[in-house]
Amino acid sequence: MTYDVPVAPGESGDIETTTNSGGDVWPMWEVFVRARRGISHVHIGSLHASDPEAALQNARDVYTRRGEGVSVWVVRSADVHSFEPEDAVDYIDANEKVYRLATTYEIPDEVGQM
Amino acid sequence: MTPEERFDAVVAAEDKIEPTDWMPEGYRKTLIRQIAQHAHSEIIGMQPEGNWITRAPTLHRKAILMAKVQDEAGHGLYLYAAAETLGVKRDQLQELLHQGKHKYSSIFNYPTLSWSDMGAIGWLVDGAAITNQVMLTRCSYGPYARAMVRICKEESFHQRQGYELLIRLCQGTPEQKAMAQDSLNRWWWPALMMFGPPDSESTHTEQSMTWKIKRVTNDDLRQQFVDMTVPQAEYLGLEIPDPELTWNEGRGHYDFGPIDWEEFWAVVKGNGPMNRERIEHKLKAWEDGAWVREAAAAHAIKKTARSAA
């Protein structure tokens, strides 16, 4: 629960960072929770666990202690594939394709609600 | 747009920085240090309260205390996970804590001497934590801000159960009320120190404010906390141990006496009443648990091999 601890003698700010996903005794998992029936699972956080059963058990203990969900998914973080936001610009440039938006079509008032 | 210009634009627009975005090295380092320190504080923070679980006066209070300590473990977990998105390993952070190269909040280097300390910690320590953490829900780094939203919800339970515990004691026997007053006397000043050194001496504040990691300065948060807490102490009928505490009509805030920064620095440097014991206990739990971590990992490998065969 806290924060502003000033730099103390003996404290070392140096730490090696890496983008490689190995290195811990237990692999990392992403946790998705369905808050109630009728809506999708939503990413809620991550945790470390040795296998899928342990990951589900930990997810239940850590993320659903106060009735947060009716269903839990766990996915090994290493199995999540993504693309970078910079790349996304090439794929989805809505500004150049306004004809995809319903609001760009003019429907006369006489026609009524459409 | 260069990556740096993009970063500056996202921060300026009150948007969030996410793990795969480019970020200045200093931003990454500051966040790793701050989030790790925050996570370590949650984990070490289980000890002062764990000390009273077996001695809780009723089963109800015992269940509350266990739930609270379990929450602290969860908070540590969310925060380590947020730090991990910046490219560090949880095991690496554990090692730095064990070696004393990483710090945790000094408040946990004070002992819990009586049952009413469980009330004082919830009310004051978690109350100070909430003041800081509500600010951090607006932090520019997405994973940290999201972890804070979850933590703040749970922290509210921590503060309220503590205050309610003190209400019961203050409405109880004179001995119970005196015990509550003694707890307030011991925890008040260390709670004010939780916000860190005064702005005039806080070296990190300015850069952290520019990066929108921090949104409010140490002194402003401290003032917020004092203003919020004084009426709560009055309701309990307890006296805050500060003869200089007075309402300042002109400022619209409470004035309060000087903080003993010498004591603060002594505790930060490792000379608080419980520094050594906290780390020894943490290290012992880590070492005693090694076989469980290794056995579970070995079991997972065996099971995978068996299902592949």
The whole-angstrom separation of Cα A25 and Cα B95 is: 13
Give the largest Cα separation in chain A, rounded: 77
Examine the pLDDT at A13 and tell me if it is beyond 60.
Answer: no
Contacts of B102 in chain A (CB under 8 A): 11-12
Tokens of B75: 């908070």
Is residue A32 in a domain? yes
Residue B28: closest C-alpha in chain A: A17
The answer to whether residue A47 neighbours chain B at the CB level (below 8 Å) is: yes
Q: pLDDT band for position A2 (50/70/90)?
A: very low
pLDDT at A1: 40
Which ranges of B14-141 does DSSP label H, i.e. alpha helix? 25-44, 46-50, 59-84, 90-98, 116-120, 126-136
Is residue A16 in a domain? no
pLDDT at A91: 59
DSSP characters over A60-103 = HHHH-TTS--SEEEEEEGGG-----HHHHHHH--GGG-GGGSGG
Q: How far apart are the CA of B174 and the nearest CA of chain A, in angstroms?
A: 32
Q: What is the pLDDT of residues A22-72, one digit of tens each?
A: 567 799 999 999 999 999 999 999 999 999 999 999 999 999 999 889 999
Residue A61: closest C-alpha in chain B: B74
Give the largest Cα separation in chain B, rounded: 78
Asked if B81 contacts B147 with a C-beta cutoff of 8 angstroms, the reply is yes
Is residue A99 in a domain? yes
Q: pLDDT band for position B48 (50/70/90)?
A: very high
Examine the pLDDT at B202 and tell me if it is beyond 70.
Answer: yes
Q: How far apart are the CA of A70 and the nearest CA of chain B, in angstroms?
A: 18
* Three-class SS state of B253: strand
Which ranges of B171-289 does DSSP label H, i.e. alpha helix? 174-193, 205-210, 218-236, 261-266, 275-288
Residue A6: closest C-alpha in chain B: B196
Q: What is the pLDDT of residues B224-244, one digit of tens each?
A: 999 999 999 999 999 999 999
The whole-angstrom separation of Cα B283 and Cα B99 is: 9
Q: What is the pLDDT of residues A68-80, one digit of tens each?
A: 899 999 999 999 9
Q: pLDDT band for position B282 (50/70/90)?
A: very high
What domain range includes position A50? 24-106
Is residue A98 in a domain? yes
Examine the pLDDT at B220 and tell me if it is beyond 60.
Answer: yes
Structural domains counted in chain A? 1
> What are the Cα distances from residue B46, in Å, to A9, B76, B139, B140, B278?
25, 10, 25, 28, 10
Is residue A11 in a domain? no
CATH number of the domain that residue A83 is part of = 3.10.20.520
Q: pLDDT band for position B201 (50/70/90)?
A: confident
Query: A56-67 burial, b for 16+ CB within 10 Å, e for fewer?
Result: bebbeebbbeee
| Residue whose pair of structure tokens reads 């070696």 in the numeric block | B99
Examine the pLDDT at A93 and tell me if it is beyond 70.
Answer: no
Contacts of A66 in chain B (CB under 8 A): 154
State whether B203 and A6 contact (CB < 8 Å). Answer: yes
Asked if B29 contacts A13 with a C-beta cutoff of 8 angstroms, the reply is yes
Asked if B218 contacts B193 with a C-beta cutoff of 8 angstroms, the reply is no
Q: In this structure, which amino acid lies at residue B164? A: E
Is residue A15 in a domain? no
Asked if A43 contacts A31 with a C-beta cutoff of 8 angstroms, the reply is yes
Is residue A75 in a domain? yes
The whole-angstrom separation of Cα B144 and Cα A3 is: 13
Q: pLDDT band for position B302 (50/70/90)?
A: very high
Question: Is the pTM above the cut of 0.80?
Answer: yes
Is residue A91 in a domain? yes
